[in-house]
Amino acid sequence: MKKVITGNQAVAYGVILSRVEVVSAYPITPQTTIVEELSELIANGRLHTRFLKVESEHSAMAALIGASTGGVRCFTATSSHGLAYMHEMLHWASGARLPIVMVNVNRAIGPPWNIWSDQSDSLSQRDTGWIQLYCENNQEVLDTILQAYRIAETVRLPVMVILDAFVLSHTSEPVEIPSMEEVEAFLPPYCPPYPLEPQEPKSYSVITTPEYFFEFRYKIQKAMEEVPEVCQKVEDEFYSRFKRRYGAVEKYGDEQAEVLLLTSGTVTSTSRIVIKKWREEGVNIAGLKIKRFRPFPAKEIGEAIKGTKKLAVIDRNLSAGVGGIFAQELKAALYSQEERPAIFGFVSGLGGRDITPELLEEAIQYTLGHSQPKEEILWLGLKR
Amino acid sequence: MSKQFTFKGASEMPEIPISLGFMDWNKTGAWRAQRPYYLDKTPPCSAYCPVGNDIVSFIQKILEEDMDGAWRVLREENPFPGVCGRVCFHPCESRCNRSFLDEPIAIHALERFVADFSEDQGQKVKREVEEGKERVAIIGSGPAGLSCAYHLARLHYPVTVFESFSLPGGMLRMGIPSYRLPREVLEREIALIESMGVNIRTGITLGQNLTWQDLKDYSAIFIATGAHLGRPLGIPGEKRRGVFQGLEFLKKVNSGKKIELGEKVGIIGGGNTAIDVARSVIRLGKKAILLYRRSKEEMPAFEEEVSEALEEGVKIRYLVNPIRIHSKDGLKRLECLRMKLGEKDETGRRKPIPIPNSNFFIEVDSLIIAAGEEIEFSYFPKGMERKGGILLTQRDGSAGVKGVFAGGDLTSTQRTVAHAIGSGKKAALAMDCYFKEKDSEEVFRRTLIGEGPPISIFRYLHPDERRMDPHLVRFEELNLDYFEPAPRQKESKLPPKVRIKDFKEITSTLPSSLAIEEAGRCFSCGTCNGCETCYVFCPDASILKREGIFLREIDYDFCKGCGICFTECPRGAITLKEEAR
């Protein structure tokens, strides 16, 4: 069934189709309409899910940690300050190996107060042990939710599905909504590995001395290392059923491009148009969409950039003191590789300023015109 | 302690550390720096109830729909819930913490509901009096005398009550009109006292057909003859025909005697008697005009009754003082002075001061003086002293002669039914101490509700049950997160036009559904009602339950003393104190 729905509605459909049993959330723009939609369905008796009202995002995640430990599939959504408030519990969720799926609608963190899109909220949480998947359109949002539960429940790590504020969250697009039967066949019910049984009391994540703590962390890294393969398998199966795939990264344009434009989220859609136009004008160029940020797809990127001389990275985020986070991650990932193209780190679109085709063209122009970037951070669209 | 696993390395380890055993080896209680414990505290309603009713407990029983239990709780302290539910001035409600949120609990309405509900269920009480114990004589069968008789009977003493009128009840029967207290309510509660073994002998008046000598056979005597002599105004003309005393008038009305009244009746006074008189006059089909020398604010009559009187057509003239009564052909010409208010007097009310040369006349056909009542003391034996218009008694009610106690209006200036009932109870307790040679002061101290003055006889009889710290719970000590505003239930009232046709009761008893709703408004200040909020919140699962039953017990082996139970408790029933180091 095809429907014209917003990104947030696509999330809600994904949650419904995944037969989530517990939803716990606290409202924050631009996420609110996701749980609004879900809570309404629950209140009307059309969705048999337990909705927990909580007084904060910290409690929302804490409640899901309880629910997930109890062995049920669960969900929450947040943005910006709400995500920041959850920080401690994000560590707990991954440390306790709980397959929680959360949507974060990318929104800048204040002050100054701002409700528009940038990635500084989710990227601030990159070291919490969560898998992070960035979406480009509403169809991808829905499909990624379904895949996220499969991935999370296989590797037993939590997954954050990320979409841009307003550009996706509040914008309608046609979305193919799979039937419940199809999704049930793809996503079986969750079977917890260590179920909570009142008859057999257990204490989870009890105090662990230096004797073993280290090894538990090692195991989380090992689980992260399994993710690329698991994602691949899950997506192959998804493709066989639904005929859609996204990949950890997606390269489009000239196979042997000299210049590659790296983007994530909705900027990729803009980039696709720009790349197409420049290729038509005879420029040997391609785009690279990065969907999976954690674990960072170093291997996949390594393959995609073979033969590329220059990488222009568009970062809609800023780690003050360093620069764009995607660019930094990329540099770190390429250090051990033989081919190390020049990396042009553009920072743009903070606090929801539009990253227009013109801005992307400016970035391409600069990259074409320089053998190496003149500055560590290339400010794109900044009013100096 | 559970079995421990040892691992060589990560490959052998599970994904997360799980203890498959119990954690009870880890006595987290050892970390505690402060200790929470259940301690019921005194709700202000009970502390300000002259009778000493356990109000929170009886309301809780209503909420549990255990109306019989509620009735039993009320009767622990008071044989007259049906009477008090109707006529008490309910100081409990003026102190109710709920009034800081919206409106106080309608405690009087709930008390009345319980009494009437239990009447409908057919109350039964057993004989309590035991022969062979000390015998007690009680003079006067008003609320003080009968309360004393009731509590003595509960303590198994044989009691004989002497009443000078032909029917028992004292001021409840003679002073309070039946539109406020129907006779059948009074009679059923007196009958219950009698069925416990109390002997009431009517038509016997001390000093007339009963002498002190006749009472020699009794081990103790309780005198509660009340205050029933009308206080004269001391103005010329008040002894004339057609000038009545308020209480005399009420006695006649309440015993169904005929009174010759003119069309327009003047009533002098501003107390409850004056209001009762005026409203009775209206019901006899006459016009009532009340003259009071101060303003509305200083009126000692209860506000609600004043407003009911006004609804029924009673006219009130304030700041008017009669100085002379002229009579001519049955018509009374009342010479009055206008008054103004001066400084506050010893009662805390502003003193009326006559305005010179402000004389004017009011014409009425009949005149009733209700300017207060005085005690009869002509029969007092030597040793009993009168001071400030009352009989002097000790705190335990003893009246200066060995074995003689007194209470009620005779010994107090706070002349309310509730105070009378309380004083009768206190005397019963004091007599028990007297017979058993116990120190009554010490017993009173143990049984005080809060800091007193009311005492609890339940606490005397059951020292280990429903214990209560004297600390009076303040509104600020409640957790208002748990209470939402809710309207106070009101008893329905007949319209004034209907009321004035006869002496039928004007208010009706709350229906069960509304009574239960009203009971649900009670904060249960300081008293654990088993809401289990603490159980839900305790992060250490240290609030104990056994077989699903909430025990009001804390497992100190594991309670870390975080104080969440103390903070969350909606009603301040948990106390937190620092652990001794």
DSSP A224-249: HHHHHHHHHHHHHHHHHHHS----SE
Are B18 and A97 a contacting pair at CB < 8 A?
Answer: no
Are A202 and B19 a contacting pair at CB < 8 A?
Answer: yes
Residue B231 has pLDDT above 90, yes or no: no
The reported pLDDT for the residue numbered B258 is 86
Mean pLDDT, residues A3-9 taken together: 98
Of A206, A208, A215, the CB nearest to B10: A215
- In this structure, of A196-200, B142-146, B421-425, the range with the lowest mean pLDDT score is A196-200
In angstroms and rounded to an integer, the radius of gyration of the C-alpha atoms of chain B is: 29
Which ipTM did the prediction report?
Answer: 0.85
The reported pLDDT for the residue numbered B26 is 86
B179 vs B346, residue with greater confidence: B179
Domains of chain B: 21-40+528-578 (3.30.70.20), 42-123+471-519 (1.10.1060), 125-227+375-437 (3.50.50.60), 232-372 (3.50.50.60)
CA distance A247 to chain B (A): 28
- How many angstroms separate the CA atoms of B480 and B484, rounded? 8
Residue B122 has pLDDT above 80, yes or no: no
Are B13 and A215 a contacting pair at CB < 8 A?
Answer: yes
CA distance B562 to chain A (A): 19
CA distance A206 to chain B (A): 6
- In this structure, of A170-179, A328-337, B201-210, B385-394, the range with the lowest mean pLDDT score is B385-394
Residue A184 has pLDDT above 60, yes or no: yes
Are A203 and B10 a contacting pair at CB < 8 A?
Answer: no
Chain B residues close to A95, C-beta within 8 Å: 16
- How many angstroms separate the CA atoms of A64 and A52, rounded? 9
Could you tell me the pLDDT band of residue B74, with boundaries at 50, 70 and 90?
very high
Q: DSSP assignment, residue B398?
A: B
Provide the whole-model pTM: 0.74
Average predicted confidence (pLDDT) for chain A: 96
Are B19 and A206 a contacting pair at CB < 8 A?
Answer: yes
The reported pLDDT for the residue numbered B3 is 67
Instruction: Give which of A94, A216, A224 to mutate to test B binding, by max B Cβ within 10 Å.
Output: A216
Instruction: Give which of B5, B12, B15 to mutate to test A binding, by max A Cβ within 10 Å.
Output: B15
Which of B263, B308, B323 minimizes the C-alpha distance to B289? B263
Residue B482 CA neighbour count, 13 Å, CB half: 19
Are A219 and B13 a contacting pair at CB < 8 A?
Answer: yes
CA distance A99 to chain B (A): 13
Tell whether the torsion through CA atoms of A105, A108, A113 and A116 is positive or negative.
negative
Are B23 and A203 a contacting pair at CB < 8 A?
Answer: yes
H-type alpha helices, A76-192:
80-95, 120-123, 138-155, 180-186
- In this structure, of A139-143, A231-235, A267-271, B14-18, the range with the lowest mean pLDDT score is B14-18
Residue B401 has pLDDT above 50, yes or no: yes
The reported pLDDT for the residue numbered A171 is 98
Mean pLDDT, residues A256-269 taken together: 96
- pLDDT tens-digit readout, B441-462: 999 999 999 998 999 999 999 9
DSSP B466-477: S--EEEEPPGGG
Chain B residues close to A218, C-beta within 8 Å: 10
- pLDDT tens-digit readout, A66-76: 999 999 999 99
Mean pLDDT, residues B531-548 taken together: 94
Chain A positions with Cβ closer than 8 Å to B: 95-97, 156, 193-194, 200-206, 208, 212, 215-216, 218-219, 222-223
Instruction: Give which of B16, B22, B23, B481 to mutate to test A binding, by max A Cβ within 10 Å.
Output: B16
The reported pLDDT for the residue numbered B2 is 55
Are A200 and B20 a contacting pair at CB < 8 A?
Answer: yes
B440 vs B388, residue with greater confidence: B440
Are A204 and B7 a contacting pair at CB < 8 A?
Answer: no
The reported pLDDT for the residue numbered B1 is 46
Of B16, B19, B22, the CB nearest to A97: B16
Instruction: Give which of A98, A155, A156, A206 to mutate to test B binding, by max B Cβ within 10 Å.
Output: A206
- pLDDT tens-digit readout, A133-158: 999 999 999 999 999 999 999 999 99
- How many angstroms separate the CA atoms of B562 and B391, rounded? 56
Identity of the residue numbered B575: T
Strand locations in chain A (E) = 2-6, 22-25, 50-53, 74-78, 101-106, 131-134, 159-164, 172-176, 203-204, 249-253, 259-263, 285-290, 292-294, 310-315, 342-348, 378-380
Among all residues of chain B, which has the CA nearest to that of A215?
Answer: B10
ω into residue A30 within 30 of 0, thus cis?
Answer: yes
State how beta strands B159-163 and B199-202 pair.
Answer: parallel
User: How much of chain B exceeds pLDDT 70, in percent?
Assistant: 99
Domains of chain A: 2-242 (3.40.50.970), 249-380 (3.40.50.920)
Q: How many CB atoms lie within 10 A of CB A384?
A: 3
